[in-house]
Amino acid sequence: MGMIGGGPGAFIGEVHRKAASMDGGIELVAGAFDINPRKSKQMGKQLCLDSKRVYGNYRDMIERELKLPVGERVDFVSITTPNNWHFPIAVDFLQAGFHVMCEKPMTFDVAEARKLHKLVKQKRLVFGLMHNYTGYPMVKLARDMVRQGELGKIRKIVVQYPQGWLATALEQTGQQQASWRTDPKQSGGSGCMGDIGTHAENLAEYISGLKIKEICADLTTFVKGRKLEDDGNCLLRFNNGARGVLHASQISIGEENNLAIWIYGENKSLEWHQEQPNYLYVKEPDGPVQVWRRGNDYVGAKSPAAARATRLPSGHPEAFFEAFANVYRNFADTVRARITRTKPDPLALDFPAVGDGLRGMLFIETLLASTKSKHKWTRMKK
């Protein structure tokens, strides 16, 4: 594995490294960690990498890695740069024949996303997108319950992702995380919704197997001087007729990372909260609420995908890193199968990919169109 981005002080790059290395099957051996070559070197040293494989920019990296014999060069790269760099870097590595894992949002806009989608399909390379929340075992259990028809036809989905850390103009204090997230040049046309609203969208489609068809959005910028919205609420209509509510926020004081979802079917309902990820609530019309707890045999019996995504016995809580690592493990197992020309475990194919990235960009595009529109419903393109 090689990494682009994730230099000194970067939050998500470090998470990628820890998650990728968790199971011992992925080794970081090369990287272009920062556009400042000195900083890139510094990070490489800190990570005890061979200095020859720490690059000052990603083009050098491609060129020189390609000169290494197959088997020595990196099998795939992880892109953890600011959003505006995702697309060109991904394209170049794909063109050079490398598999790619990419942070979300996948690209800057829909046009890029469509191109990338096409390129991945052409090249027959593996492309993973880090929608990490779908890596939680209880999310996989939820999805399997839906697939097995436990809920019956889904009628309603409520999904939220409130945070509070941008309730003030934090970006004006120079805080790095706040700065690029609120800068249209680095983040694209959307702030809050691109950053976290897409996670909510992805989670809802992942678990339900449904597609959002129409959106009615109301995006707002509450903090003065901020250029991108920091709050967004929308009504949804899904392709099977289900109704939905999706709201996300970065100005909801006291909320930390409160992604949560409620899915209501004709027969049963589900509820899951990211901040207490080891529980899935299952509700029936006339019976007690069931609290399914990660790590138990009855969970694995229902959902092999959940069992596969579990490292610790019940009661020994797992959390954010492990969910992240689950995305990496499935992605890497798929890459490995592609390289060794073997058939991957079907469960390994369960990771967010270029199609999810395109959905995310379409979702943002539709939100931005809807929020400007006087019409109630804006159709989400395919």
**Footprint on residues 140-199 left by a second copy (CB under 8 A):** 155-156, 158, 160, 162-164, 167-168
Residues between 354 and 373 with contacts to a second copy, criterion CB under 8 A: 373
> Could you write out the DSSP letters of every residue in 214-243?
EEEEEEE--STT--S-SEEEEEEEETTS-E
**249 makes contact with a second copy (CB under 8 A):** yes
Taking the complex as a whole, the smallest distance from the CB of residue 94 to a second copy amounts, in Å, to 28
Taking the complex as a whole, the smallest distance from the CB of residue 125 to a second copy amounts, in Å, to 25
Q: Report the alpha-carbon distance of residue 296 to residue 307 in Å, rounded.
A: 8
- Angle, helices 137-147/198-208, rounded to nearest 10 degrees: 40
| Residue 160 Cα to chain centre, angstroms | 15
- Angle, helices 110-123/83-95, rounded to nearest 10 degrees: 20
| Binds a second copy by CB under 8 A, chosen from 80, 252, 326, 366 | 252
* Residue reference for tokens 């270029």: 354
Taking the complex as a whole, the smallest distance from the CB of residue 83 to a second copy amounts, in Å, to 19
CA atoms within 13 A on the CB side of 124: 4
**274 makes contact with a second copy (CB under 8 A):** yes
Taking the complex as a whole, the smallest distance from the CB of residue 218 to a second copy amounts, in Å, to 5
Q: How many CB atoms lie within 10 A of CB 8?
A: 14
Of 49, 54, 59, the C-alpha closest to 27 is 49
**218 makes contact with a second copy (CB under 8 A):** yes
| Binds a second copy by CB under 8 A, chosen from 264, 328, 331, 363 | 264
CB-wise, 91 or 169, nearer to a second copy?
Answer: 169
**284 makes contact with a second copy (CB under 8 A):** yes
Taking the complex as a whole, the smallest distance from the CB of residue 116 to a second copy amounts, in Å, to 27
Taking the complex as a whole, the smallest distance from the CB of residue 87 to a second copy amounts, in Å, to 26
| Binds a second copy by CB under 8 A, chosen from 86, 247, 308, 359 | 247
Q: Which stretch binds a second copy (CB under 8 A): 105-113, 202-210, 216-224, 339-347?
A: 216-224
CA atoms within 13 A on the CB side of 180: 12
**313 makes contact with a second copy (CB under 8 A):** yes
Mapping DSSP to helix (H, G, I), strand (E, B) and coil, where does residue 127 land? strand
CB-wise, 269 or 330, nearer to a second copy?
Answer: 269
| Binds a second copy by CB under 8 A, chosen from 149, 276, 379, 381 | 276
Q: Report the alpha-carbon distance of residue 318 to residue 270 in Å, rounded.
A: 20
CB-wise, 191 or 295, nearer to a second copy?
Answer: 295
Taking the complex as a whole, the smallest distance from the CB of residue 122 to a second copy amounts, in Å, to 34
Mapping DSSP to helix (H, G, I), strand (E, B) and coil, where does residue 32 land? strand
Residue type, 40: S
**50 makes contact with a second copy (CB under 8 A):** no
Of 25, 98, 74, 130, the C-alpha closest to 353 is 130
Taking the complex as a whole, the smallest distance from the CB of residue 174 to a second copy amounts, in Å, to 16
Q: Report the alpha-carbon distance of residue 236 to residue 242 in Å, rounded.
A: 8
Q: Which stretch binds a second copy (CB under 8 A): 57-65, 86-94, 199-207, 314-322?
A: 314-322
**298 makes contact with a second copy (CB under 8 A):** yes
Token digits of residue 197: 């609203």
